[in-house]
Amino acid sequence: MADTTHQAFDPLATGSRARQFRAKFTVYALLVFFALLYLSPLVIIFMNSFRPLEHIVREGFISSPRALSPQYWIEAWSTFCIGGNCEGVSRYFSNTLMMTVPATILSTAFGVVNGYALSKWRFKYDTWVFGLITLGVFLPAQMTLLPWAFVLGKIGLSNTIAGLVLVHTVQGISFTTLFCRNYFVAVPDDLIKAARIDGAGFWRIFRRIMLPLSPPILIVCVIWQFTGIWNEFLFGTVFTSGANQPITSAIVAFSGSGTGERHYNVEAASVIFAALPPLLVYVLGGKYFVRGLTSGAVK
């Protein structure tokens, strides 16, 4: 997984001067074009979260912004009515936060210990155990909806955040175990053997050897789980309702209702609230985000 250094040659530094210039120009022109295409939704929504409603209704979303005001953000956060509940998006934001943080911590903690046990303590059928856990990565959520609904009902967690924490933790452990196991496999076995000869046990080796090596994969797991659970929609919609729903469901609730007056500016601000935490995590932990993608996909 080491970063291989790139070949020490410049593909654009070939051919004549004019050809070099043309090539460079094409490359940057294309990059700018795609960058604008990728950024435009972000810019459009950000701009419209500050525009007066009558401007948006009159001119649409794509128009020069005038008379900007931050009041729609305040409205979106605290007084916006979503499905008859007028506490603003803050209610759903905190629901999602209360769901995401515990589920991220729990699934990551389990994943690290599982990954360590599966990679460094060989036992009979360990590959079967690992195979079973990783199957959870591929199982489509639709296969689990009815059983989960039944189980959550039986244990009294229907329509609760705690129920969603449970669902996301169980599902997330598959991912975190996969990530951590593949990461720990690269730790030399001799290190563990030496520690065992010195009389160190399972937990001691974990604390003294594995945990200090773990920060990179811990960050990958936390980022992956946080963004994944924060952005999740299906489980939230199926297992909770009304004021207990996560923010993704709340957005669908107001943007999907075709009737009544639309408050595009407040809706735009609400959408930004839903997008901001994972975006922040992405910008702050970009390198690890990419690493998670790469190891999650290729392995």
Q: Which is nearer to other proteins, 133 or 220 (CB)?
A: 133
CB of residue 27 to other proteins, shortest distance in Å: 5
d(CA 247, CA 179): 27
CB of residue 220 to other proteins, shortest distance in Å: 14
CB of residue 161 to other proteins, shortest distance in Å: 18
Q: Which is nearer to other proteins, 85 or 233 (CB)?
A: 233
CB of residue 34 to other proteins, shortest distance in Å: 6
Which amino acid, one-letter code, is at 58? R
d(CA 259, CA 215): 49
Q: What is the enclosing helix (H) or strand (E) of 139?
A: none
Q: Which is nearer to other proteins, 26 or 79 (CB)?
A: 26
DSSP 299: -
DSSP 1: -
Sign of CA dihedral 217, 219, 220, 226: positive
Nearest to 118 by CA among 106, 130, 110, 107: 130
d(CA 124, CA 197): 22
CB of residue 208 to other proteins, shortest distance in Å: 15
Nearest to 109 by CA among 211, 235, 213: 211
